[in-house]
Amino acid sequence: MTAYIRALVVRHPGTPPAVEEVHLPEIGPGQVRVRIRAAGVCHSDLSMVNGTLSPPYPLILGHEAAGEVVEAGAGVTRVSPGTPVALNWAPPCRTCWFCTRGEPWLCPSANVAALENGSTLDGEPVHVTLGLGAFAEQVVVPERAVIPVPPELPWESAALLGCAVLTGTGAVRNTAAVAPGDSVVVIGLGGVGLSVVAAARAAGAGPVIAVDVSEGKKALAEAAGATDFVVAGDSLSKDVRTRTSGRGADHAFECVGRAATIRAAWRAARRGGRVTVVGMGRGDDMVQLSALDIFSSARTLRSSVYGSADPDVEVPQLARDVLSGALRLDHLVTDRIGLADVPAAFDRMSRGEGARSVVLL
């Protein structure tokens, strides 16, 4: 079966994306066709448009999504038509060195910014963001890129689990291993940053200090569980020390992806503290720290790629947490939109407004 579907495409770098008619390929062995029901607007999608990343074009945007399987190719055993699934934008191969040592989030085959999957636009190949291109009515993806979720899970919740929630929660639980009583500062309160806040509170951390350039994020931060809110500025490290008995935070999470905010997180952490970079930044945005500062502060600086998580294991667990009430996501969705509204959502994101816009299809 072949299909023409509507999808959000950016044709050239720096040009606005638009809804276009795209031709999807027939599915092959080991592939599935998924009807997209909900897709979150992530900052990584904006990075594909504004030059932070340089993927090949034309490009179908979108990677944080959920939907139902409508067709399964030969050899597919994980799902069947009608199965509700969350999409996995970094499906590991399960056979490489990283996968076999328990680090599937570092699998080389899982970290592809954009690729061709047989989809075409005006008869020419079109690339798909992070192997998915999920701002579309349907997608064709490998079986390992879908994760079954309970049918009672709301579509928008299932979509968020595949990126923002897994990334933020995993950064707290897996990468940083936040413990009860640890002090935490979170810089950047988009969907990922708010997920970090919520996970830190769930881990028993305190205080949990939420930081953003916009005062309008205060209510969202408090809804996520922040004990304190600080507007970002030159006095940030002092503000954090004031709230942490003069030491600085045990854990500082940077959820923006900029050298300036990575340095701010470094300064906000205590001596011996841990700085976890969750945001994805530009390749030419260099972080400068002095050799003496690195030595004398005894801080640890590391990144969290996809929450240092195995999505096949952790997405189903997060789904169960949502259904049991242990994990609340309602504060994350601030706008419900259509495909054509995504550029406006990018504008709101650039201005620091709201948390997550979700496309409903």
Task: State the chain's mean pLDDT as an integer.
Answer: 93
CATH at 103: 3.90.180.10
Q: How many CB atoms lie within 10 A of CB 237?
A: 19
Chain position carrying tokens 């195995």: 310
Is position 171 within any domain?
A: no
**Cα–Cα distance list, 350 to 29, 30, 40, 42, 186 (Å):** 40, 38, 15, 11, 19
For 119-153, the pLDDT digits (tens) are 999 889 999 999 999 999 999 999 999 999 999 99
Residue that is last in its domain, among 260, 285, 303: 303
Extract the tokens encoding 299: 């801080």
For 218-246, the pLDDT digits (tens) are 999 999 999 999 999 999 999 999 999 99
**Cα–Cα distance list, 168 to 54, 147, 174, 244, 253 (Å):** 24, 18, 10, 22, 10
Query: What share of the chain in percent tops pLDDT 90?
Result: 83
pLDDT exceeds cutoff 70 at 111: no
Residue that is last in its domain, among 284, 303, 322: 303
pLDDT exceeds cutoff 90 at 47: no
For 168-215, the pLDDT digits (tens) are 999 999 999 999 999 999 999 999 999 999 999 999 999 999 999 989
Looking at the structure, do residues 216 and 126 belong to the same domain, yes or no?
no
* Domains: count for the chain: 2
Looking at the structure, do residues 299 and 320 belong to the same domain, yes or no?
no
**Cα–Cα distance list, 161 to 12, 29, 166, 212, 309 (Å):** 30, 27, 5, 23, 12
Looking at the structure, do residues 211 and 318 belong to the same domain, yes or no?
no
Domain that includes residue 348, residue range: 3-163+308-360
AA identity, residue 200: A
Looking at the structure, do residues 156 and 26 belong to the same domain, yes or no?
yes
